[in-house]
């Protein structure tokens, strides 16, 4: 079943859906975490992850009942008469930050069209009071409430803006063997950068490339829902973006072994030769 829909209409649904998830996260209450360990001592899920995903799905299912929905915490929603559009959700990207009350976490929502292109993406970070969003061909944008209470919406062109210094954002993964290899490779990568940062949220690190907060980002071990929205936002801001090819999310999450074998990256165009792994 096909549905005629514009990219702007999809973005509007994505914005509302991400806001619904972010509103769950904004009610953060440590006594209600119900946190349990997933793959390692640094990889956890809370009751807020699940509640936020349910809130996001409710908005999408109401607006787009024939779209497929895949996400981090719940089973794929596969309508009997699919429209050809698919949503990829990360209800709480940066769960450890959320548990430790570090502000870099948020809800990530993206939608893919029938031809396989990501069409709209939103990363809503309630503790930062920032909502990053993009649509294919429509640019990347930031809706922000500043510390002085002033709200503004501005287009993101970070990868094209002039600035001094170079910062690499990277992660070392939860898997000890992969972490040891990445530590050994970090010195050579830093030959091309002045310093590095780690925000603890893949989606927000991709948004940081879009905004110009960092110049490059590299991480192994990401699932599609981790990079779907942030990758589009970085791309629409002008960044070079590398997305891994993974097994279909409609069959459930890929294995940890599969995602640890591939990497996601984004940077100011021209920097990729200094940090991107050889294919």
In the chain, domain spans: 7-155, 159-274
φ, ψ dihedrals at 71, nearest 5°? -150, 180
Lookup: tokens for 36: 């349990």
Cβ 230 vs Cβ 206: under 8 Å: yes
Kindly state the helix (H) or strand (E) to which residue 21 belongs, with its residue range: helix 7-26
pTM to 2 decimals? Answer: 0.93
Q: What angle do CA 67, 107, 124 make, to 5 degrees?
A: 110
Least confident of 235-244, 252-261, 263-272: 252-261
**Which one has a higher pLDDT value, 29 or 155?**
155
Q: In this predicted structure, what is the pLDDT of residue 44?
A: 52
pLDDT digits (tens, 9 = 90+) for 180-211: 888 888 888 899 899 999 999 999 999 999 99
Give me the mean pLDDT over the 238-262 stretch.
Answer: 93
Q: Give the mean model confidence (pLDDT) for residues 213-235.
A: 96
pLDDT score recorded for residue 94 = 93
Asked if residue 127 has pLDDT above 80, the reply is: yes
Q: From CA 168, how far away is CA 266, in angstroms rounded?
A: 10
**Confidence band of 36 (pLDDT split at 50, 70, 90):** low
Average pLDDT over residues 240-256: 93
Q: Which CATH superfamily is domain 7-155 in?
A: Fructose-1,6-Bisphosphatase, subunit A, domain 1 (3.30.540.10)
Q: Report residue 279 as tokens.
A: 């294919």
Give the highest mean pLDDT range of 40-44, 216-220, 226-230: 226-230
Q: What is the mean pLDDT of residues 42-52?
A: 73
Q: What is the mean pLDDT of the chain?
A: 91
Give the per-residue pLDDT at 41. Answer: 44
Q: Do domains 7-155 and 159-274 have the same CATH topology?
A: no
Top-confidence residue, 68 or 278: 68
pLDDT at 40: 46
Q: Which of 143, 146, 131, 133 is nearest to 26 (CA)?
A: 131
Q: How far is CA 256 from CA 80, 97, 252, 262, in A?
A: 29, 21, 12, 11
pLDDT for res 279: 63
Q: Does 3.40.190.80 match the CATH number of domain 159-274?
A: yes
How do residues 87-114 score in pLDDT, each as one tens digit? 999 999 998 899 899 999 999 999 999 9
Between these two residues, 48 and 139, which has the higher pLDDT value? Answer: 139
CA pair distance 136, 122, nearest whole angstrom: 12
Residue range 18-24: mean pLDDT, rounded: 97
Q: Helices in 4-71 by DSSP H: which ranges?
A: 7-26, 47-63
pLDDT at 180: 87
Instruction: Give the pLDDT score at 59.
Output: 98
Spatial distance between the Cα atoms of 249 and 118, rounded to a whole number of angstroms: 14
What does residue 269 show for φ and ψ, rounded to 5 degrees?
-55, 130
Q: What percent of the chain has pLDDT over 70?
A: 94
């Amino acid at each position: 079943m096909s549905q005629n829909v514009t990219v702007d209409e999809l973005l509007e649904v994505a914005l509302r859906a991400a806001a619904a998830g972010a509103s769950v996260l904004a009610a953060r209450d440590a006594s209600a975490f119900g946190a349990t360990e997933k793959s390692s001592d640094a990889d956890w899920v809370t009751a807020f992850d699940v509640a936020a995903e349910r809130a996001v799905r409710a908005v999408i299912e109401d607006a787009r009942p024939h779209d497929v929905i895949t996400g981090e915490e719940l089973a794929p929603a596969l309508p009997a008469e699919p429209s050809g559009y698919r949503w990829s959700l990360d209800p709480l990207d940066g769960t450890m930050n959320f548990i430790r009350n570090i502000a870099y976490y948020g809800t990530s929502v993206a939608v893919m069209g029938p031809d396989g292109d990501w069409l709209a993406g939103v990363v809503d970070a309630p503790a930062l009071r920032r909502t990053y969003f993009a649509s294919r061909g429509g640019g990347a944008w930031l809706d922000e409430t500043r510390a002085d209470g002033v709200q503004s919406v501005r287009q993101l062109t970070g990868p094209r803006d002039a600035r001094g210094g170079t910062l690499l954002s990277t992660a070392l993964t939860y898997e000890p063997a992969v972490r040891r290899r990445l530590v050994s490779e970090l010195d050579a990568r830093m030959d091309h950068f002045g310093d590095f940062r780690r925000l603890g949220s893949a989606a927000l690190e991709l948004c940081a490339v879009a905004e110009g907060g960092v110049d490059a980002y590299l991480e192994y071990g990401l699932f599609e829902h981790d990079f779907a929205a942030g990758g589009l936002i970085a791309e629409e801001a002008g960044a070079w973006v590398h997305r891994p090819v993974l097994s279909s999310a409609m069959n459930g999450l890929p294995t940890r072994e599969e995602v640890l074998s591939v990497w996601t990256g984004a940077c100011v165009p021209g920097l990729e030769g200094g940090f991107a792994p050889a294919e």
